[in-house]
């Protein structure tokens, strides 16, 4: 055995001993590897917290939770309208064709849509408005934005509060459900020319605004979103 063979054997023994000291030996008492699936099941099947379900772009329709007993017709729309009114009959007609419809959930989503639309119009955000409005309403909004741009004017709008969102109308036309809401809000709005002078509204005064808007949705469509199809104002 030559000197080089002896050197290589000694080096191999040295490396083996170093690895053994670093990695250790199995004794039979080691903990099993962490099982994420088993841990999730032990916690009741909880999912990872970074998985987020995104809502619809306008007003998404959440299904009603199942109940042990059906709600009596006289109490179905309690807090929204009285039995036998045109509003109650309209809501009944919509629910008959779409059992997942929940007007209270709709009102909550409509408040968010109302603020989004008002601010998008003030900012001239055509892309946002196209997703929120019917083609006819979008055309009228876009014309107003274009006129403002031609005059080199800019509108500044800030919501102070939405004090009320009241359902005042419900109707089913063929496959289309239409819901009308009266919004009572407070906002600050001012339109300035290119020199920064206010030509309409006020940058300091809080104005009381009442808008009456109608939203619609094809209840046979898989798209859960409602779009603005009509606007009116009591101011």
- Is 59 within 8 Å of 113 (Cβ atoms)? yes
Q: Which of 2-11, 78-87, 153-162, 167-176 has the lowest mean pLDDT?
A: 2-11
Q: Which of 109-123, 134-148, 151-165, 220-234 has the lowest mean pLDDT?
A: 220-234
User: pLDDT: is 36 or 116 the higher one?
Assistant: 116
Positive or negative, the CA dihedral 220, 226, 228, 234 is: positive
For the chain, the average pLDDT equals: 79
pLDDT tens per residue, range 65-80: 445 455 555 678 999 9
pLDDT band at 235 (very low <50, low <70, confident <90, very high): low
**Residue-level pLDDT at 44:** 34
Q: Does 157 score more than 70 pLDDT?
A: yes
pLDDT band at 23 (very low <50, low <70, confident <90, very high): very low
Query: What's the rounded Cα separation, in Å, for the pair 227 and 211?
Result: 16
pLDDT tens per residue, range 160-178: 999 999 999 999 999 999 9
Q: Does 9 score more than 70 pLDDT?
A: no
**Residue-level pLDDT at 37:** 34
Q: Quick one: average pLDDT of 133-144?
A: 97
Domains of the chain, start order: 86-234 (3.10.450.240)
């Amino acid at each position: 055995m030559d000197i080089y063979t002896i050197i290589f054997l000694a080096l191999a023994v040295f490396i083996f001993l170093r690895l053994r000291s670093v990695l250790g030996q199995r004794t039979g008492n080691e903990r099993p590897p962490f099982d994420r699936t088993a841990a999730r099941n032990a916690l009741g099947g909880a999912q990872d917290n970074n998985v987020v379900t995104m809502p619809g772009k306008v007003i998404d329709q959440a299904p009603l939770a199942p109940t042990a007993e059906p709600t009596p017709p006289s109490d179905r729309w309690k807090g929204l309208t009285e039995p036998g009114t045109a509003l109650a009959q309209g809501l009944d007609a919509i629910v008959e064709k779409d059992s997942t419809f929940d007007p209270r959930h709709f009102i909550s989503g409509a408040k968010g849509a109302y603020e989004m639309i008002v601010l998008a119009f003030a900012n001239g955000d055509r892309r946002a408005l196209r997703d929120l409005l019917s083609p006819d309403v979008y055309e009228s909004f876009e014309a107003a934005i274009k006129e403002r741009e031609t005059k080199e004017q800019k509108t500044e709008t800030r919501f102070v509060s939405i004090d009320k969102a009241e359902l005042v109308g419900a109707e089913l036309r063929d496959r289309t459900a239409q819901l009308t809401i009266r919004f009572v809000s407070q906002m600050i709005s001012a339109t300035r020319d290119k020199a920064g002078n206010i030509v309409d509204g006020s940058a300091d005064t809080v104005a009381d605004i009442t808008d009456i808007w109608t939203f619609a949705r094809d209840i046979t469509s898989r798209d859960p979103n409602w779009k603005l199809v009509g606007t009116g104002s009591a101011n």
